Structure 1
Amino acid sequence: MSADSRKNTAKFHSISRRIVLQFCIFTLVISAVYGLISFILMYTLEDSFIEQQLQQEAARLDSHYQTSGQWLPPASNSMQLHFSRDTLPDEIREKALAEPKRKEFAGQQGRHYHLYTVTPQPEVLLLAEVSQQLLVRPIRGGVLQFLFISALLVTTLACLIAWFVSRKTTRPLKQLAALVDNVAPEQLSQRFSKPFASEFASQFANDEVGILARTLEHSLSGIARALKREKSFTADVSHELRTPLAVIKNAAELWQSQQTGSQQAAPPQTEPDSDKLLMTRIYDAAVQMEKTVQTLLILAREEHAANKYSSTELMPLVEWAILDNSILLQGKPVTVQLCDSCQVSISANADMLKVLLDNLLSNAFKYTESGEVSIAFSENNLIIRDTGPGITADIYPHITEAGVKGRQSTGFGFGLAIVKRLCEHQGWQMSVSSAHVSSDKGTTVRVGFTQ
């Protein structure tokens, strides 16, 4: 899947929406915690009030006992004195015996008891049935409902505030994204010239977004300058290389025409003229250089060739590329195996295909010291396989990057980078396998052509 398709199919995650969602969740959690604390606090205050009443009554009873030696009856009818846990009401006796430190007991039919120890030795207990004094427990359902509704209202209000704040906070980011997104690559040199660049970052506040805007401005200005330099370089190459190539080509054509006229007046020669062969090679090389320069200029300008999908015979181009690069095999025990499967017509630009073949075959011929270089075509794939040393594992992941080459290389490392750009430009698929990273011997390059 290409980067563009991944970009289009990837789900968009709005920062503003995430701020609102996180703020709402945070508020809901805080409301729940606050409601729980409030509920517990209500119970605690209620129990503390009852405990305070029991303490006051126990102090009064103990004070009288210390003075007179007799226990007074409790002042309230809801309180009882017990001198043993065995005399406690049946509904709480077992729990009181099992848990001596427990102070609260739930009885039957809504009764609720608080137990307070007046004296530990001998044990004197003050028991209060406080169901009539309870305020929170009878209305706890309503309290919970009130807290729940309050939490929802607070959360809704918080979500509205978060929506307003997020819109205000992310508005500069959206403006920055719109400014950058609306600039096409070919417009960078105009949009990010100095006058516009000074306005680009100055419209944002001196905050994190402003820092991001200035960073983007600096980066995009650098890209704009690089594109401008590339365009200037392309124009210079177009002018400086085409003119001398045209001179060489025209001179060779003129010489050939003069030789043709002189041969008609002179008797035929039995042996081939070496000068004529040399000039023919110069002429053919000039023509090929012209086509190569044109192909590279098309790549530099990101243009598409008009005859991109024309039908091209593969075999003559392969044979031509073999002859052009055969000098690299001189003195080497290397056999070139050209399979009959290459006798096919493919949909491709002949000039670009010739550049691709020259680069791939020159690599194969250059690095193969002995053995075989085979060229085959199978299932719409061009396969070039050699028996060279292969590609080392340390540079294999970057072998199609410009300037990457092996230690034994004498070139500049641009061959496979040009092939990769050609394949990307024409929609072809290229893969490279090597003995260091697969079971293949040497290096195998596959180029898949579109149907």
Structure 2
Amino acid sequence: MEPEALQGRRWRRVLAPVRVRVTLAATSVALVVGVVGGVLFVASLHRDLERALVASARQQVETITAQLENGSTPAQAAVTDRDDVITQILSPTGDIIGSDHPKVSTRLRASAGVSTSVRVRGLDDTYVVVAAVAPSGELVTVAHSQEQLAQARRTAETLVTVAMPLGLALVAAAVWLAVGQALRPVESMRREAAQITTAHQDRRLPVPQGGDEISHLAATLNQMLERIGSAQRAQRQFASDASHELRSPLAVIRQLAEVARRHPDQADVVTLTDEILAEEGRMEELVAALLTLARLEDRDPATGHLVDLDDVVLAEVKRARPTHGPEIDATGVGAGQVRGEEVLLGQVVRNLLSNAVRHARTRVQVSLGEVEGRVRLVVADDGPGIPVSERERVFSRFVRLDDARARDEGGAGLGLAIVERVVTGVHGSVAVDDAPGGGARFTVTLPAAG
């Protein structure tokens, strides 16, 4: 087991890029938002202050106009006693007839209107200029200095410039800590996953509290580990059972061969050949069943082909009718169409018929029909039947209820397991109960096509 410090370094080396990338992404987004927001804030502030200056200049123009209407002279009306304001009154001919800044000898405006960022010769500031025509015909002009506006803008830009790096640093720190906190359960899961080996398959990942995505991930991984564990246990059991079943016919064949070699004068070649072929047939049947189950584990039996199940049933009944043995009654077979794979559905019917013929005394009855959108196949025999306590177990692999009977009277215990796997694969069900005349009755229910 690697030291905790080494594990921590490896964790940081693995997770640090994720942490850094998330932090950089969040900081980059915050930077873009901050720059755009700062620019918009400064521009909005400038626009609002400029509108305020224009409104103040308009009010001053109205005041001067009112003084002119009340009989004040242009020279008197133009006096404001403010250093940041320039007033001019122009005669209808365009001459300056009143001003509070005699040094300003040029006209600020020649007509009514509004101008911004106006440079005045001899002065350092820029001005907002508003001009309006008085009722007496004079052009009253007021210019407000933009020095305070510029100062407010510089102050806002300074605040934005100082606040943005601080805000970015806070965002980066918050994201860094949050991502680290979020990834801490991942490290716990990684450490626990490193301890899960073949010898410790029962261990599971810790599920963090909170019900977030990481908790769901841990729960999903635990479910996956459970499925993998179940599959491995099933594989080990399957390999053990298969090796045991294959060992029996091989042992019989070896025994027959050794007896024939030791006593060649007593060996009957025909009898010996028949017995070896019988055991070989059982082994071939077992291997074929094992291969079928292996293929079913790797694919979905429901491939979506339309299958006339009645044709499959009648073909298998014809093949299964023994020369000597119980009678197979297929008069109850009606039409039934399902979706699936014809070869596998034929294997289902074949295995059910083989099981019924093996245990029936005199008669096997087969029926098929469609009821309420479901196709139902029934195979019943008049044999000894199956005890209620054993009816679920018969569909397990390598199960033979009567272990004491002769081997040629029973199969390897895989036929009904294949039936159950194929039927459930096409979204159907299979059940066993008592036949009306005694014996066992197997009922397969499948969805009807369409």
TM-score range, shorter chain: 0.3 to 0.5
Larger radius of gyration: 2
TM-score normalised to structure 1 length:
0.48
TM-score normalised to structure 2 length:
0.48
Query: Which has the larger strand fraction?
Result: 2
